[in-house]
Structure 1
Amino acid sequence: MSTAVSDALLEPTRRPVAVATLTDVIDAEVSEKSGLGGAAVKAGYAAAKKLGGNFVTSATDRLLPQFASALDPFWATKGEQPFGAHLAAQPEAAADALLAVTDAKAANTSHGSAAKVYGSLRGKAKDHVVAALPRLGAAVERLVP
């Protein structure tokens, strides 16, 4: 049986690489956005990066356990197909699982600025997460032995 996503990504020596890789996925997805919606995402992301303390990387690290757990059931059912394709084949379920993590964090954060930025972008977040699933899946697959 293959290693669970959560076991692989949270393994202490692998976790920093996982955080860096997933932060790179976020950066790449944001940089490819275009149009009015893309401008809003880019502005929100720039605002998040200005929150200090390497906010995006530290948020990715803090949320990694929940994200990895959300991906575990999908990993367990991927079979032989690439993980990105497997996620993209069930976009609603995969996006909902990942957004449940960020929704819960936003609802319970003491960081008012972060919650405001998230709230301003949440309406279109599912579309953006769905678009990111192939790249996310490919990145995760590279990280899981």
Structure 2
Amino acid sequence: MVRGEFDAPRATRTLHPFDEPRIAVCSEHSDLTRFEHLDCADVQHWPLVVNTVSGTTGPWSWPAEQRPERIIETANYDEWLESVAANRGIGIVPEFARRRTRHPAVRFVPLTHAPPSPVSLVYLPDGQRTLGRRFLDAAVEAAAR
């Protein structure tokens, strides 16, 4: 399972079963916590913390004229999360992160007008008949309906 845009390896196939909404993440000390939501076009006014290794959002996620001026790069999810918690900037993640992340110093703020984050299954078409393969077959069948 892969979140975000990516280049699939040549020998694989890709199934795109759904898109996931994005959400803003900020420190509990951020001024952003006052807002009920953040418009995607307004992200440019805050430093943006990005995970350069496995993140699904980066400067490329906005048109050139709306890109955040300041980018704080991190190398993994934990570093990204701690940078946001320390109020170095805000993050933008798929909504799934709200259910996955428990951190006392971060808050999630609904994000409007943001492009969704694609979720895809990547698989080898001639893989063995394992439980994983049966899962993929069921996903392909369900997506075809």
- Superposition TM-score, scaled by structure 1 size: 0.26
Indicate the structure whose relative CO is greater, using CA pairs within 8 Å and at least 6 residues apart. 2
- Counting strand residues as a fraction of each chain, which structure ranks higher? 2
Pair member with larger Rg: 2
TM-score, with normalisation over the residues of structure 2?
0.26
